[in-house]
Amino acid sequence: MSLDDQFTFPFGDYEADLSPVCERLVREEPVVRVRRPDGDTAWLVTGYEEAKQALSDPRLNLLEVSTPGSRRLESTEVGPFEVDLMEVVQGTSLRKRIAQSLTPKAAETYERRLEPRIADLIDALVAAGPPAELLHGLYAPITAEFVSEWLGVDPADARRLHDQAHVAINFDTHSDDELDSVFATADAFFQDLIASKRSTPDGRLFSDLVADNDAEGSFSDEEMAKLGFSLLTNGYDTPLNAVVLLTIRLFAEPSAFGHLRQNPDELPDVLEEMMRRTPLGPSGVTVQRVATEDVVLHEKLIRPGELVLIATDVANRDPRVFAPSCPARNPDQAQLWFGHGRLSCPGRAIARMLLEMVLHHLLRRIPAIEPAKPLDSLPWRRGLLLRGVGELPVTW
Ligand code: HEM
């Protein structure tokens, strides 16, 4: 008997790791039909090759998710800028401007500017002595500094808007009224920012985008405000959660952590492997698409209008591809944290730079760092899209 229709998605709260149901599905039915709590159905893709195939198929569309009445992971309507901003700015000079701000060369420039600041932040932690709280004491300030350099949003504003961004990302834990108020606050902030960048351009990305758009007239100020908030959530909230999750993973795997202390030059490889093993989303799903035509995936027929949930976190541990403790060195088996194919994360070079830079400096200055509380007592935040904790107490 097929496993289709037997599962209700999501599979309960699994904060520290993936649900055991995912392990069964990836082995037995890597593309399966699941039932949503509202009774609607969706396709869940858990296999590695199947996920890559789904992510590469243009008939499985992302922007379609924002069409009114379309099926989506979110329980509320989402706008095109919140879903696929790169597609929305396609055909305008804004797309090139955003892409140019995210190249590996741009990453090197941000790294040079941020290194002295990270050194100062770690000096302050060391001077204050243990215990310390890493999320607010180091990771949030340095990520906010990055957003300031990149986007031109003041670090204090970025940190204040972080809570808004988090609500917007983890929409399912909040009421429609809360979500409306979050978007209204962010809209008002970015409308003011547009006015201030017009009067005082600063050469940062948002200022340049406002100038480009003023010359081309593609989007209204309201749309530009949505674009700004979407860039902020992508460039701030995701890498911030990511570095927290990777730190927790390293604490949870003392042998990998010990190896890294002995072999700091291997940080990029170790991090890549830690990313593969660390789920980003509580449900294992980080990416969604809607079919625009018939698509056959692993012998399953996906019909137009059907929702496809791609469980990249589960695919990253597909036992048909990855041995449990053996790092994958084959480029055809790249981990899927940043997606795959045409719509994969344009900020991945920057994200890798930020993660490596922060962990490199932290481990060099405080090699004896360890969690100050048992990892299973960490305050996990609830939400469907991005796992995270409210604090990360450490000692040394
Ligand atoms: C570890 C950190 C990060 C992870 C895991 C991540 C992951 C992703 C993924 C999976 C997507 C594609 C979603 C899809 O296929 O539907 C994406 C899109 C994107 N990411 Fe990242 N990302 C990270 C950091 C960053 C950073 C630092 C930036 C910018 C500085 C950034 C900018 C973007 C943008 C602009 C998009 C396109 C969004 C859209 O079209 O609406 N990301 N990211």
pLDDT score of 65: 83
Confidence of residue 168 (pLDDT cuts 50, 70, 90): low
Confidence of residue 351 (pLDDT cuts 50, 70, 90): very high
3-state secondary structure (DSSP) of residue 105: helix
Atom of ligand 1 nearest to the CA of 351: 27
Share of the chain above pLDDT 90, in %: 69
Mean pLDDT of 250-270: 93
Atom of ligand 1 nearest to the CA of 343: 15
pLDDT score of 125: 96
pLDDT score of 19: 86
Residue partners of 5: CB distance under 8 A and separation at least 6: 33, 34, 35, 41
Ligand 1 midpoint to CA 234 (Å): 6
Fold of 7-395: Cytochrome p450 (1.10.630)
The structural domains of the chain, with segments of one domain joined by +, span 7-395
Chain mean position to CA 278: 12
Beta carbon of 86 within 6 Å of any ligand 1 atom: yes
Residue partners of 168: CB distance under 8 A and separation at least 6: 82, 179, 182, 183, 186, 229, 233
Nearest protein Cα to ligand 1, atom 42? 347
Beta carbon of 239 within 6 Å of any ligand 1 atom: yes
One-letter amino acid identity for 232?
A: L
Average pLDDT, the chain: 90
Cβ–Cβ under 8 Å, residues 134 and 247: yes
Q: Which of 114, 246, 345 most suits a substitution to test ligand 1, by most atoms within 8 Å of the C-beta?
A: 345
Confidence of residue 387 (pLDDT cuts 50, 70, 90): confident
One-letter amino acid identity for 130?
A: P
DSSP β-ladder status, 370-371 and 60-61: unpaired
3-state secondary structure 337-395: CCCCHHHCCCCHHHHHHHHHHHHHHHHHHCCCCEECCCHHHCCECCCCCCCCECCCEEE
Sign of the Cα pseudo-torsion (255, 259, 260, 261, in order):
positive
Ligand 1 midpoint to CA 340 (Å): 11
Instruction: Return phi, psi of residue 13, to 5°.
Output: -90, 110
Ligand 1 midpoint to CA 372 (Å): 31
366: its two tokens: 């405080």
Beta carbon of 345 within 6 Å of any ligand 1 atom: yes
Residue partners of 141: CB distance under 8 A and separation at least 6: 121, 155, 159
Residue partners of 393: CB distance under 8 A and separation at least 6: 131, 132, 133, 134, 371, 372, 373
Q: Inform me whether the pLDDT recorded for 119 exceeds 70.
A: yes
Ligand 1 midpoint to CA 345 (Å): 4
Picking from 191, 193, 174, the residue whose alpha carbon sits closest to that of residue 182 is: 174
pLDDT score of 14: 64
Beta carbon of 385 within 6 Å of any ligand 1 atom: no
Residue with tokens 């509580």: 282
Alpha-carbon gap, residue 28 to 320, rounded angstroms: 11
Nearest protein Cα to ligand 1, atom 31? 347
Integer angstrom CA distances of residue 284 from 146, 299, 311 = 27, 22, 5
Confidence of residue 329 (pLDDT cuts 50, 70, 90): low
Residue partners of 78: CB distance under 8 A and separation at least 6: 65, 66, 72, 171
Confidence of residue 390 (pLDDT cuts 50, 70, 90): confident
**pLDDT tens digit sequence for 271-289:** 999 999 999 988 888 899 9
pTM here is 0.93
Beta carbon of 78 within 6 Å of any ligand 1 atom: no
Mean pLDDT of 17-25: 87
Ligand 1 midpoint to CA 338 (Å): 7
DSSP β-ladder status, 31-35 and 7-8: parallel
pLDDT score of 282: 80
Confidence of residue 100 (pLDDT cuts 50, 70, 90): very high
Beta carbon of 338 within 6 Å of any ligand 1 atom: yes
Atom of ligand 1 nearest to the CA of 344: 12
Beta carbon of 281 within 6 Å of any ligand 1 atom: no
Atom of ligand 1 nearest to the CA of 147: 30
Q: Which residues of 199-209 are buried (b: 16+ CB within 10 A; e: fewer)?
A: eeeeebbbbbb
pLDDT score of 325: 62
Q: Inform me whether the pLDDT recorded for 328 exceeds 60.
A: no
Q: Inform me whether the pLDDT recorded for 173 exceeds 90.
A: no
Picking from 175, 157, 187, the residue whose alpha carbon sits closest to that of residue 82 is: 187
One-letter amino acid identity for 190?
A: F
Cβ–Cβ under 8 Å, residues 50 and 30: yes
Q: Which of 62, 238, 240, 290 most suits a substitution to test ligand 1, by most atoms within 8 Å of the C-beta?
A: 238
Ligand 1 midpoint to CA 280 (Å): 12
Atom of ligand 1 nearest to the CA of 83: 41
381: its two tokens: 């935040």
**pLDDT tens digit sequence for 356-386:** 999 999 999 999 999 999 998 988 877 767 8
**Enclosing H/E stretch for 84:** none
Atom of ligand 1 nearest to the CA of 62: 16
Atom of ligand 1 nearest to the CA of 84: 41
Alpha-carbon gap, residue 118 to 142, rounded angstroms: 6
Helix 140-150, helix 238-252: angle, nearest 10: 150
Task: Give the sheet arrangement for strand 132-133, strand by strand.
Answer: 132-133, 393-395, 370-371
Beta carbon of 339 within 6 Å of any ligand 1 atom: yes
Cβ–Cβ under 8 Å, residues 363 and 260: yes
Alpha-carbon gap, residue 151 to 21, rounded angstroms: 40
Beta carbon of 347 within 6 Å of any ligand 1 atom: yes
